[in-house]
Structure 1
Amino acid sequence: MKPRWRWLLLLVVLGCAWASYSRPTYTPPRPPHVRLRLAYLERIMREGSGPGTALGGLIQQNSEWGLFTLSFTTYALASLAEHDPSLRPEAAEYIGLAIQQVLGAPIRQSFAADRPTPVAPGDTLPSSVLYLGHLNLMLGCHRQLVASSPYKALHDTLSARLYRRYEQATEGNLTSYPHLRWVPDNTVALASLALHSHLTGSTYAAAGRRWVALAKGRWLDPATGLLASQTDAQGRVREGPRGSMLGWSIWFLARFDSTFARQQYQRYQAAQSTNLGVLRLYRELPGDYTTGAGDVDSGPLLVGYGIPATAFACADAIALHDWRNAQRLRRVISLGSREIEENGELRYGVRLVDLDVSPLSEALLLWVDGPGPTK
């Protein structure tokens, strides 16, 4: 065989291997695998969030991490149970546990603010849309699984109050902390209102439609068309698009405006990702090639690529049924992680390094793997 034909044959073989390896083969984890992973998260939730617990330790590091561990575990469970009814009893039980922890003092007090939200006579919750949005969506997830959920009254009251606040917020976004309005936190709250409408027939989903109209007119980056990360008290952009914020926001946007979510997903992919064939990576900022520690949102950056930016994009790809991209992104996650199974629990560690992944990362990994709500 002549040398040039050998090279041609090699290219054909490599091309076939590449096409085979990059085909859309992603499938959600099977129930036995999910239950092993849940065993670890269940133990973490039953421990509570007081001093000396895993959740307590997360709260000491960052007041948001305990909340996110519980909320993203909830979203993963609700999604998995929707697609596999055999998981519904466990999902309902564990989501109830998560809600109890979020309502408890250690997490609740982390978001105490100057204008608390009244929910019952003599009882208040923090006013932070970050806290209220996740709590309300968790309440809705429980109600979706348990028609007689004991949290129905709280879900109705909190949804009504959030809706009224959005009606009064001419600037568009509610505050996560005093004077700080983060767009991703508002997408969670708006998703919670859309779910309330779906479950009860309320009109609260209208808040999401009004918000999207504002977003399209005021908060899209002129160069990329991507959604801003933060706005100010007048509704002006305070911080532009970031991968960690976009990947997060798109998944929740899909709960109340799937068309806008898909548009943002496609623009995010075009502006901030690199397709390596069998893998895909996402940058924190478009055109940025920084290598360094990053910040609390981006995590470490390698030539501009970030772990949250890439992992959240995987959740988006799965939720929007982009199976080819989901498989590429899941491979990136698999390359950097290793399974640790012991005492009937499955958790993850960092590959090649003796470093356990925290409960927050476990919750996010389970959420990423979920098929996403169908409605």
Structure 2
Amino acid sequence: MAVASLRLHDTLLPPRYAATTARWLGQVRGRLDPRTGLLPHSADPATGEPAEVARGSSQSLIQRFLVDIDPVFAAEQYTRFRDRYVVTPLGLGPAVREYPGGMDGPADVDSGPLPLGVSLSATAVTLGAAQAHGDAALAGALANYGELAGLPVGTPWTKRYAFGLLPIGDAFLAWSKTARPWVGTPSPPAPSVSWWWRAPLLTLLALLGAAPWLPALRRRRPGERPVALTSPPDACSPGPAAVRPPPDGAPAGPGPG
């Protein structure tokens, strides 16, 4: 973020930091995380060498700003990040892992809880990274998924996610949905998120919606027809017991008069 601000300075004002930016890029390229090929989560302060594997919570921010520093290098890094960290746990929509596939680690204040290895904070911020890189397919999928998983509550004037219990999450989503590159010109990646990601989620929602009706359906046997309900006989009309055959010799029809 600091180097991106220097690039922004040199775009708006007389340039002063081109050499600093170039030196930083050279050192970063020589000290990438060997496991993922991405910028590491942390580095040794004495040597600058990677001290911790690349993680989703920091990558989502790095990919958001790197496009303003060096768009070509940023496109390479973003493709690696998207291939190694964007997943569909249980087939229920795109999300972002905190650690690369095949590796697990502890959660912390930056990542938040890690259900199935997924960081909710990294997922929300990656929406902004996708926007900045012109990755409309991933940005749209993350935004749509957030409308369900985020439990939004709207009024005519406001909209809050997670029932309004996490204002910082609302701030990150607002910032991510409006993210644009300030300086760089992104190279949008090829679309990689098919609309089929919605199918498992819609199936699950359909099953949840039908669940209250399942007991009633199970009580009915196959081929059983519902019993028709009949109303009781009218109290003013004679019932079957009141109809008697006429006595011997009496006419069958109504009597005289």
Q: TM-score, normalised by structure 1?
A: 0.45
Alignment correspondent of 1:323: 136
Match of 2:5 among 175, 185, 192: 192
Contact residue 339 and residue 348 of structure 1 kept, 8 A: yes
Alignment correspondent of 2:122: 309
After TM superposition, the structure 1 = structure 2 runs for residues 119-134 of structure 1, keeping only pairs within 5 Å, are none
Alignment correspondent of 2:167: 359
Deviations 1:240-278 (A, max 9, x none): 200001111111111211222221110011112225888
**1:239 positional shift:** 1.4
Alignment correspondent of 1:268: 81
Q: Which structure's relative contact order is higher, taking Cα pairs within 8 Å and 6+ residues apart?
A: 1
Could you say what the CA RMSD is over the residues aligned between the two structures, in angstroms?
A: 2.3
Report whether the alignment pairs 1:231 with 2:43: yes
Partners of 1:359 and 1:302 in 2: CA distance: 21
**1:214 positional shift:** 0.6
Match of 2:54 among 222, 241, 247: 241
Report whether the alignment pairs 1:295 with 2:108: yes
Change in 2 beyond 3 A, CA 1:205/1:279: farther
Partners of 1:271 and 1:210 in 2: CA distance: 28
Partners of 1:374 and 1:255 in 2: CA distance: 6
Alignment correspondent of 2:176: 368
Change in 2 beyond 3 A, CA 1:297/1:324: same
**1:361 positional shift:** 1.7
Report whether the alignment pairs 1:208 with 2:7: no
Match of 2:93 among 265, 279, 283: 279
Alignment correspondent of 2:255: none
Contact residue 153 and residue 164 of structure 2 kept, 8 A: no
Change in 2 beyond 3 A, CA 1:295/1:302: same
Sequence identity of aligned pairs in percent?
Answer: 34
**1:315 positional shift:** 0.9
Match of 2:160 among 321, 345, 348: 348
Residue 262 of structure 1 aligns to a residue whose secondary structure is: helix
Residue 17 of structure 2 aligns to a residue whose secondary structure is: coil
Q: Relative to total residues, which structure has the larger strand share, 1 or 2? A: 1
Change in 2 beyond 3 A, CA 1:349/1:278: closer
Partners of 2:74 and 2:10 in 1: CA distance: 19
Question: Structure 2: 5+ residue runs without aligned partners?
Answer: 184-257
Change in 2 beyond 3 A, CA 1:288/1:326: same
After TM superposition, the structure 1 = structure 2 runs for residues 1-375 of structure 1, keeping only pairs within 5 Å, are 188-218=1-31, 220-233=32-45, 234-275=47-88, 279-288=93-102, 294-342=107-155, 345-350=157-162, 355-375=163-183
Question: Structure 1: 5+ residue runs without aligned partners?
Answer: 1-187
Change in 2 beyond 3 A, CA 1:360/1:334: same
Contact residue 288 and residue 304 of structure 1 kept, 8 A: no
Partners of 1:278 and 1:262 in 2: CA distance: 27
Change in 2 beyond 3 A, CA 1:357/1:258: farther
Contact residue 251 and residue 261 of structure 1 kept, 8 A: no
**1:290 positional shift:** 5.4
Deviations 1:85-111 (A, max 9, x none): xxxxxxxxxxxxxxxxxxxxxxxxxxx
Change in 2 beyond 3 A, CA 1:339/1:273: closer
Residue 303 of structure 1 aligns to a residue whose secondary structure is: helix
Contact residue 8 and residue 182 of structure 2 kept, 8 A: no
Alignment correspondent of 1:110: none
Partners of 2:124 and 2:161 in 1: CA distance: 16
Partners of 2:116 and 2:92 in 1: CA distance: 19
Contact residue 161 and residue 170 of structure 2 kept, 8 A: no
Q: Which structure: larger Rg?
A: 2
Corresponding residue pairs, total: 181
Residue 318 of structure 1 aligns to a residue whose secondary structure is: helix
Change in 2 beyond 3 A, CA 1:357/1:289: farther
